Structure 1
């Protein structure tokens, strides 16, 4: 079901991977190392790229790993990610300009990501993105790092980010999710929120539209216009 954008957006929940930052190089490299170190066959880079964004447990299940096997692969991945993959990453061109303009237009910005919150905060701080967020690093909402088997964690993250938005004065009808994958759209819809999809992330062609995104922005500048017009 497609939800329409509010006539006035006051609070924006931003995905991280594929929306604010191009994190695929580091994630894919660390996944490749993690599968090998844990003794599992390494999926193709094309398959590993689909891991960027969704809850990690769900992605492991899609390649046939569950239970102790998934836990071992995730632990090996995280060791490599912490050592070298986390900052093999960059902010997408135009993002900081869009965030600046959204703030100047009066929007309150928060992060809602399926990435473990401890990693998300380090990345946001590393790239200085906390300067654009309400409450700084406390405006970053991520997954529980201990929930290694989590398959539907984005709904929980959006719930916490939405609660922060409401505490900051938001009305539900004025909150919008921004993300690059279908799970962003579905998690937002679970809480009655519309999503603006972004075309520069990791979605397959047509994925965001099929999931019910209210609109899809081709560029960060277009995203800003959609949220402030």
Structure 2
């Protein structure tokens, strides 16, 4: 791929943020009488909006959910943000493909958190645009986040763009907008999840992304 626009999810695609997110969720619900937390089930929630996690997974009402979200951000902004690691090979991949393409982050995280993580781990310089959740503007779903990037980046269109992500939300959004997608199997989604939603490509490791993105 040359002169293309490559959009990357953040959690589970560029960085392994599992520890920080799970610790933030556990901190958020520690105020309630919820004693059993199955880590594997919690991992399956990563990539979903926080409101959906607390409403649907923990069955909190709207008032309790708002309190849980506030507590999550309290933990995450101070500690969880940095309980994070870059997947092996990501830095090298971005350095090589940014020469002939423009790179974009399209994440369900807030722009503030996304930029802080990318700067902290030395990845920020590879990206032309960071698009994330902006609840004050009504930009919360992955398709809205991708569309936000499309409106902000000059020259981008569906024919020369591709979305790289690890969860069904990434693939659904790409299909809805009309761009190709790559599902990464080293993140938090499974082969079944990503194949069932129709990812155009599936890759098992970061090195495989380079092959597809330079075809």
Instruction: Give the TM-score normalised by structure 1.
Output: 0.86
- Kept in 1, the 8 Å contact 2:20–2:84? The answer is yes
Given that residues 133 and 140 in structure 2 are in contact (C-alpha distance below 8 angstroms), is that contact kept between their aligned partners in structure 1?
A: no
In structure 2, C-alpha distance between the alignment counterparts of 1:70 and 1:151, rounded to whole Å: 19
1:203-222 to 2 correspondences below 5 Å: 203-222=189-208
1:94 is matched with which residue?
Answer: 89
Distance 1:146 1:75 in 2: 16
Runs of 4+ in 1 over 4 A off after TM superposition: none
State TM-score, norm by structure 2: 0.92
1:72-221 matches, within 5 Å, as 72-104=67-99, 106-134=100-128, 139-144=129-134, 153-165=141-153, 167=154, 169-221=155-207
Alpha-carbon RMSD across the aligned residues, in angstroms, is 2.0
Structure 2 residue ranges without an equivalent (≥5):
none
Greater fraction strand = 2
SS at match of 1:112: strand
Residues matched between the structures, number: 213
Cα shift at 1:151: 10
Identify the residue that residue 23 of structure 2 maps to in structure 1: 29
Higher relative contact order, chain-length normalized (CA < 8 Å, sep 6+):
1
Does the 8 Å CA contact 1:9/1:176 hold for their aligned counterparts? Answer: no
Q: Of the candidates 34, 41, 53, which is equivalent to residue 34 of structure 2?
A: 41
